Amino acid sequence: MVQQARYPTSEPVDFLVVGAGAAGGVVAKQLSTAGFSVVVLEQGPYLREADFRHDEMANTKFHPLTNDLQLQPHTFRETEKERARVQPAVMYGRVVGGGTVHFTANYWRFHEIDFVERSRWGPIAGTGFADWPITYADLEPYYTKAEEELGISGEAGANPFDSWRSKPYPLPPLPVKSSGVLFERAARKLGWHPFPAPMAILSRPYRNRAACVHCGFCMEFGCEVGAKSSTLAAVFPLAEQTGRCEIRPGCYVRKIEVSKSGRVTGAIYFDPQRREVFQNAKAVVLCANGAETPRLLLMSKSNFFPQGLANSSGLVGKYLMFDAGAIALGLFEHPLNEFKSVQVTRVIHDFYNSDPKRGFYGGGGIDARFLFYPISFAMGALPPEAPRWGAEYKKLLQEYYTRTMVLLSHTTVLPLETNSISLDPEVKDAWGLPALCVTYRHHADDWKTMGFTQEREKELLEVAGARKIWTFPLEALPPSAHLMGTCRMGNNPRDSVVNHLNRAHDVPNLFLVDGSCFVTSGRQQPTATIQALAYRAADHMAKLAKRGDL
Amino acid sequence: MHEPVFSRRVLLKMSGSVGAGWLGPRWAQVLRAAVHVHRAVTPGTTPRLEFFTAEQAAEVEAIAAQIIPSDETPGANEARVLYFIDRALVTFDREQQPAYREGLQDLLRRVQQLHPGKSFSGLPSDQQIELLKSMEETEFFGLVRTHTIMGFLANPEYGGNDNKVGWRLIGFKDDSVFTPPFGFYDREYNDAG
């Protein structure tokens, strides 16, 4: 039994990681394995497999895995001209493991094009459309590393639009579901190229973890058998086994402190008893997600950084990019039973690339899935013209629940400087800290792309032989769980926050690794890219630390 | 999987190691409520009402029975939706109590206007449906609809979905493990080789 690491707060640890999510888990594991002392501060609880239950009511009412808007309200407005009002704006994982505990576990790499779209298509007026300072080739070894260590199931070569890979997936695809079969047949008839969905879910037992049991409770729930490749299941145990990684749950960071020379010295946080504690550190890695990382930087003002820590560019919090996509639903003659097994088994990337002939920028992937649990289905999945109560409504529930599938697209959003995370000037959270304020509006091309993919979805459902096809208005998008762009990566400190290795331009011992560093949105599914960036950044941090440069 | 283990375990973990305070006062209250809900429901017995008076219960039960009626297949009555709602209003949805009091008063006013001296539950079915149609855009109807659906399809330990009757109606199975084939079309696909 390895001795649990316990570091005194007064002694500087080598690395202080804020946020135990997709990136935080990878960074903590890599650095502790490389021999460094690591403390991870996570505001949420440290839950385990035995805590995860199939309880849709609990998820709906108590939000055990995600941010609690009673404790930490958000404010939202579409533009800076309006006053932000208290309402849900973003969603993120708030447990050890972060979003990887509750996510649907889609796991797409970016394509080569995602890193160089500005070079390819030219600038887009009024936006921050830009190339990344890295290419797919720079990241490829780390995508491979992430897939291998975390355990990703898929079929290399099955997607003709995928970029090259140095190794196949470590695990074969999960078994196809009825939605995947119908999708695949119809897509092929249309001349498209359906492929098995890459999923962060084990199709076989792997590295002492159990394989998926197809219970159907992936999306929004924790995996009670450890088959979903969350950082909780896959890398935090490895980090703790080194004896050098201490995870502190229930610890909410309110400020990163800096010295007179402008280097970070550690973090002030509220412990579980709401006492303020200062943890000394030689270097700090923020992995708090694309909303909370910029918020923390903005809350960390000092004489050295009057605009917020690492914010000489003024871009901390700016260029916020959200999730986007459109759905179409289809009813079929025989039961699909989509409530069983993983959400997604088949995908197409035929419309991934932008195409100027369409008249707008954007593209996306389309997959076949279900998206509902019993209560959410009965609340609002039936066609818009269907009765919402009564005898006919009940008949429709009985007929539709097992015979329905959903196509969902995952589409691009353009970076707009006016879309941002900021500190609300009035509203406070339960700790007295300024509430997260979101200012957000999609670009017109984002809507056109969603609409374009929705038309393809309807086409596919038609060809698949759906007895009935329906959609919901594009405007009805829930709070985004994809949070990108707010500390963008770049070579020039005047128009970016971190360099190409996730080091803050302004602060030599501060690193930002999560969705905030994204330059473009990709076609959603950001987790694979976040984790590849985390492996790469951690490599670099370890090198710097070994050289004595931190 | 469906015993009330989660809330007890987390509650114990919280009180045993660190204080509940860091999760926030609301979370602790909500967990205590969840434990209360789970304890209050013993399958096979008729639960006590904790919020509704007998008259209010009759009205709410009648509304729920029109939202998900009983006919050739079970509905809200068989699922014991009334008890789900009653439990919810003294636990996690305590703040909806005023909405129910006011909503039921408003309902009575509407009933009395058309049918003096009657209650909603005393009306024949077609008159109940007509009345509900006239108020289906109201917040109160929306709330009762939401609660009825939850009561019909939530895990049975919340007091509704008695004997999993709601799940069985829609064809949902709560098995912990499934093996392929999952549905008609992937069975065909596998058979085709």
B17 shares its domain with B91: no
- Whether B68 sits inside 8 A of A389 (CB atoms) is yes
SS (H, E, C) B60-83: HHHHHHHHCCCCCCCCHHHHCHHH
- Cβ–Cβ contact B72 with A under 8 A: no
Domains along chain A with CATH numbers: 13-547 (3.50.50.60)
For residue A47, which residues of chain B lie inside 8 Å, CB to CB? 10
On whether residue B184 sits in a domain, the answer given is no
Distances (CA, A) of A517 to A33, A363, A496, B95: 24, 21, 9, 41
- Is residue B181 in some structural domain? no
| pLDDT confidence tier of residue A167, bands split at 50, 70 and 90 | very high
B190 located within any domain: no
Residues from chain A that touch B166, judged by Cβ atoms under 8 A, are 374
Evaluate whether residue B192 is within a structural domain.
Answer: no
Cα–Cα distance measured from residue A377 to residue A229, given in angstroms and rounded to the nearest whole number: 27
Whether residues B146 and B116 share a domain: the answer is yes
Q: Nearest Cβ partner of B182 from A178, A379, A390?
A: A178
Same domain, B74 and B113: yes
Alpha-carbon torsion A246, A250, A253, A259, what sign? negative
Regarding whether B93 and B19 lie in a shared domain, the answer is no
pLDDT digits (tens, 9 = 90+) for B81-129: 999 999 999 999 999 999 999 999 999 999 999 999 999 999 999 999 9
- B19 close to A (CB below 8 A): yes
Q: Stretch B10-25: mean pLDDT, rounded? A: 34
| B15 shares a domain with B82 | no
Shared domain check, B141 and B86? yes
One domain for residues B10 and B93 = no
CA distance A512 to chain B (A): 26
Residue B24 has pLDDT above 70, yes or no: no
Q: What is the pLDDT of residues A86-129, one digit of tens each?
A: 999 999 999 999 999 999 999 999 999 999 999 999 999 999 99
Same-domain status, B76 and B137 = yes
Residues 118-137 (A) with a CB less than 8 A from some CB of B: none
Q: Is B22 on the interface with A (CB under 8 A)?
A: yes
Q: Does A274 touch chain B (CB under 8 A)?
A: yes
**Beta carbons of A102 and A510 less than 8 angstroms apart:** no
B165 lies in the same domain as B77: yes
| Count of domains for chain B | 2
Kindly tell me the burial class for residue A207, based on how many C-beta atoms sit within 10 Å of its own C-beta (0-12, 13-18, 19 or more).
middle
- Which residue shows structure tokens 């994204």? A518
Examine the domain organization and report whether B106 and B21 are in the same domain. no
Are A245 and A32 in contact by the 8 Å Cβ rule? The answer is yes
* pLDDT over threshold 60, residue B28: no
Q: How far apart are CA A195 and CA A200, in angstroms?
A: 16
* Interface with chain B: mutation pick from A42, A46, A56, A57, highest number of B CBs within 10 Å: A57
Tokens of A96: 């050890």
For the segment A355-380, the average pLDDT, to the nearest whole number, is 97
Does A57 contact B26 at a Cβ distance shorter than 8 Å?
Answer: no
> Quick one: pLDDT at residue B43?
61
Give CA separation, B35 vs A516, B10, B116, B163, in Å: 39, 11, 43, 20
Give the pTM: 0.94
Show residues of chain B in contact with A64, CB under 8 Å: 10
Give the pLDDT score at A110. 98
pLDDT tens, position by position, B35-94: 666 655 566 677 899 999 999 999 999 999 999 999 999 999 999 999 999 999 999 999
How does strand A195-196 pair with strand A13-18? unpaired
Tell me if B177 is assigned to some domain.
Answer: no
Distance from C-alpha of A423 to C-alpha of B135, rounded to nearest angstrom = 41
Residues B158 and B131 grouped into a single domain: yes
Mark out the alpha helices in A131-253 (DSSP H runs): 136-150, 178-189, 231-234, 236-241
Owning domain of residue B121: 54-170
Same domain, yes or no, for B127 and B156? Answer: yes
Please give the torsion angle defined by the CA atoms of residues A231, A232, A234 and A235, in that order, rounded to the nearest 10 degrees.
70
